[in-house]
Amino acid sequence: MNHVSEKKLLIKDAYLIATMDDKNTKYDGGYIIISGNKIEQVGKVLPKDIDLKNYDVIDAKNCVVLPGFINTHHHLYQTLTRCLKKSQDKELFDWLLYLYDIWGKFLNPQTVRYSTLLGCGELLLTGCTTCVDMFYVFPFDQPKDLLDYEIESAKEVGIRFVSCRGSMSRGRAQGGLPPDNLVQKENEIIKDYLRVVDKYHDGKDFSMTQIVLAPCSPFSVTEELLTQTAQLAKEKKLLCHTHLAETKDEEKYCIENFCLRPLEYLEKCGWLNERSFFAHSIYLNDDEIKKIAEFGSGISHCPTSNLRLGSGIMRLKYMKDAGVNISLAVDGSASNDTSNMLAELRQCLLIHKYYSGPSSISAEDIFWIATRGGAKVLHRDDIGYISEGKAADIVMFNINRLGYIGSLEDPLSALLYCGDSQIAHMVIVNGKIVVKEGKLVNVDEEKMFYEYLLKYKDITNYRN
């Protein structure tokens, strides 16, 4: 089957289609017709006049079909520094202090390319069709356009990509956490924001590449950069993104350095509005959560990373009840240490059942957060649900496997509760098949894996 042929795609005989549309419509045994990059039709019974010869037909017999997941916070470059021994037992600040130097030494165009291919590959294989990535380490001795290698590699693997031009401007000499050789001057950063926006940002529906402005965190950027970024985002109608209230240490840092709590500080810098979205946001009090809901800022919830670093648990139920726009994210691969999106949904479900009680959240709530929640945070209505005229971003999980036996009363929830693998059977992004029978289509997985091993097996030489 040639998925780039002129023919329309027909997904038929699905076990279940969970559309995630406004009515949360589900079809047992449904079908989807895809024309170009859009969903043309979705329904339960295939119209009789359809001539299968005119379609590239995908048999979805044992598959649960969903809109692709949206991962709203990642640091793909960290894929090459997963699970380093000395990083395993540290809290955020010590973890960063250990890793900054390693990242500073090994990041170059090739490692950026590999980490993007590998990380995006993992995301696609586990059902994620849109990835937001924050790239914020620009070593002084490397080409200034490292971000471009990431964006081009994401295109190569076929994922819908939102690239956050990250930045650090507050080095140790200015009381920040990162080493001085990894920070850039504000004017250099602003200039590069404009360059990448001009070169890559496509703000239209069905866009495959967008740019977000993303100063890294209160302890690694200057007040000047935060303020200028918010102004520029407003002027250019762009989103802006940063880490917020991730740890108690960050809260202490903000109070000691700015005499303000983290959200108060960002508000002072012009960040409390619907264009901003924040990663983590664990240490927010009731009033701050209400304020975020009122101003319409989004949240990227990263449960696994928060557990791994012992940072804490975000108040998901309280935020949801308060009306905050919440999305789900795997976070960088040095604090997860995987880009497995379906596993992140499961983690999210389980941790909040513990944290707020088993009736506080359902598997379907988590699917909603990982699809519609992500789309809302990104100000998009073209992705996140299966409906006529929306982008054809579709994932199919085969439940005809050992791990799902006994679970068919609720096959959708079973994707989070059960399973012996989180690998999707098929993934379609923007109307193109990018995962087929559990394998990436656009890159040779094995070749990429062995090339990586050959070139970077000595990554541990970069250790301090």
Residues of this chain that bind Zn ion (CB under 5 A): 331
CA distance 315 to 284: 9
DSSP-derived letter for residue 87 is G
Q: Which is nearer to Zn ion, 94 or 381 (CB)?
A: 94
**Min. distance of Cβ 119 from Zn ion in angstroms?**
13
How far apart, in Å, are the Cα atoms of 312 and each of 242, 263, 281, 323, 333?
A: 18, 17, 10, 21, 18
Residue 273 near residue 296 (C-beta atoms within 8 A) = yes
Q: How far is the CB of 113 from Zn ion (least distance, A)?
A: 21
- Whether the CB-CB separation of 65 and 396 falls below 8 Å is answered with yes
Shortest distance (Å) from residue 71 CB to Zn ion: 12
Token reading at 345: 């949904």
For residues 302 and 429, which CB has a smaller minimum distance to Zn ion in the complex?
Answer: 302
Q: How many CB atoms lie within 10 A of CB 60?
A: 25
CB-wise, 96 or 230, nearer to Zn ion?
A: 96
Minimum distance between the CB of residue 337 and Zn ion, rounded to whole angstroms? 13
The angle formed by the CA atoms of residues 168, 459 and 435, to the nearest 5 degrees, is 85
Q: Provide, rounded to whole angstroms, the least separation between the CB of residue 331 and Zn ion.
A: 5
Minimum CB separation of residue 91 from Zn ion in Å reads 14
Q: In what order do the strands lie in the sheet with 439-440?
A: 26-28, 16-18, 63-67, 394-398, 426-429, 432-436, 439-440
Give the E-state strand segments of 47-154 in sequence order: 55-59, 63-67, 69-71, 128-135
In sequence order, which residues have a C-beta less than 8 Å from that of residue 323 and are 6 or more positions away? 293
CB nearer to Zn ion: give 220 or 430.
220
250 versus 331: smaller Cβ distance to Zn ion: 331
